[in-house]
Amino acid sequence: MFKKKQKLNQPASSSQAEQKLPEPRTSHPSCPRRCMKYLYDRENKQFCGRTCSSWRNIIVYSIFYLIFLSTYTLIFLFASLSIIKALGTYESIDKLELMTYADKAIGLSATPTSANSLPIINYQSDKGYEKYVNELEEFFSKRRKRQVVTENNLGPCGSSPFGYWEKPCVVIRINKQIGWSAKPLINTTNLDIPQDVKEWMKLDQEKLWLHCHGYHSYDREHIGKILYYPDPPGFEAKAFPLEMGGNSPVIGVQFVDFTLGLSVAIECSLWYEGGSSSTTFILYVTPKQKVFLNADKIKE
C-alpha cells in the first residue's frame, strides 16, 4: 500500500561521470612554427625532415653520380671526335659529297646554284651575278684547303670571274662516295649514248665521259654553244675510288651564245659502263633593259 520513495540526489557511477566530462581542447601549432620545425627539429635533430647522416649520404651519392655522368659524357665526346677525325677533317666535308646512291650509280653536283640551293642560275646580263662568282671562289678555296691542286685545265672556268656575265661557267663534279668506282664505256651500241660521246671514245678508252645538252628540244634550240674544260670532258677512271681526304675531279662547262630572256633547262650526264648519272639545272639571264631616247633631244 505504501510506495517506496525514490532516492533523490543519488550519485552517478564513475563510468557515467567520465562520459559526461568535457573533452580537453588540443592546440595546433601555427604555420610558421610548423615550418620552423620542418627546417630544424630540435627533438629529433633533423634538418628538413632528415638527419645529418641521411643528408651526408645523399650529398656523397650525388657527387659520385655527377662524376660518373661527367666521365661518361667526356668519353662519348672523345670517341665521337676521334671517329670524325679518323674519317677526315670535319670542316672540309661537303654535305653534297657524302650523299649515298645505288650500288652502280653516283651523283653529280653543279656549282654555282641559287641562293636557296635550287639548281637555278638567274641574273641580269649586266648585274646580279656577283653571288655566283663568290660561290665559285669559295668552292675552289675549299678544294685548295684540302689538297694542293691546280685548276689550270679549267680555262676561264678555273679563275674569277668564271666567264660571268657574258659566258657563264658551271663546274660539274662527281659526288664523293667511299668505295665507288666505274669502268669506262665499252659498248657503243646503246642508242641513248650521244654521238659526241662515241666520238670521244675513239680518242680515249680510259675515261668516264661528261656530256651536257638541252633537256628538251626547245632547250636545245636556245642553249647555244657548249665549251668544256678540259676538252674532251672526261674523268680519269683510275682516279676512283677516291680517298677520304682527296678532291673529287671537276669539269668546267661554259655556255656561249645562248638565248637571253629564256629559261634554258640543261642536263649534264656522266656516261660509264653499266649505267649513267645526271644532274640538271636552269640557266636564265635577263637581257639589258632597252633605253629609248627622245629624237627631239638628240643633237647631231
pTM over the 0.85 mark: no
Please report the pLDDT score of residue 106 as a whole number.
76
- The three-class DSSP label of residue 103 is coil
Of 81-85, 134-138, 257-261, minimum mean pLDDT range: 81-85
**pLDDT tens for each residue of 106-147:** 788 899 876 566 788 888 877 788 989 999 999 988 887 766
Q: What confidence tier does 243 reach under pLDDT thresholds 50, 70, 90?
A: confident
DSSP string for residues in the chain: -PPPPPPPSPPPPHHHHHHHSPPPPPPPPPHHHHHHHHHEETTTTEETTB-HHHHHHHHHHHHHHHHHHHHHHHHHHHHHHHHHHHH--GGG--GGGG----SS---EEEE---TTS-SEEEEETTBS-HHHHHHHHHHHHHHHHHS----GGGGGGGSTTTTTTTS-EEEEEEPP-TT---PPP-----TTS-HHHHHHHHH-SSEEEEEEEESSHHHHHHS-EEEEESSS-EEEGGG-SPPTTSPPPEEEEEEESPPTTS-EEEEEEEEETTEEEEEEEEEEEEPPPP-PPPGGG---
Q: pLDDT tens digit string along 149-170?
A: 556 689 999 888 999 988 999 9
In this prediction, residue 298 carries a pLDDT of 33
- What confidence category does residue 293 fall into, taking pLDDT thresholds of 50, 70 and 90? very low
How high is the pLDDT of residue 233?
A: 93
The domain defined by 95-286 folds into Immunoglobulin-like (2.60.40)
| Mean pLDDT across 270-284 | 88
Q: Report the C-alpha gap between 257 and 222 in whole angstroms.
A: 8
For residue 21, give the C-alpha cell. 566530462
Q: How confident is the model at residue 38, as a pLDDT?
A: 66
Which has more confidence, 255 or 176? 255
What number is the average pLDDT over the span 60-74? 89
**Each residue of 171-221: pLDDT tens digit?**
999 888 877 888 888 877 776 889 999 999 988 888 999 999 999 999 999
User: Would you kindly state where each structural domain of the chain is located, as residue ranges?
Assistant: 46-87, 95-286
Q: Which region among 100-104, 149-153, 241-245 has the lowest average model confidence (pLDDT)? A: 100-104
Q: How many CB atoms neighbour CB 135 within 10 A?
A: 16
* Average pLDDT value for the chain: 77
Given pLDDT bands bounded at 50, 70 and 90, which one contains residue 289?
A: low
Q: Which residue has the higher pLDDT, 24 or 204?
A: 204
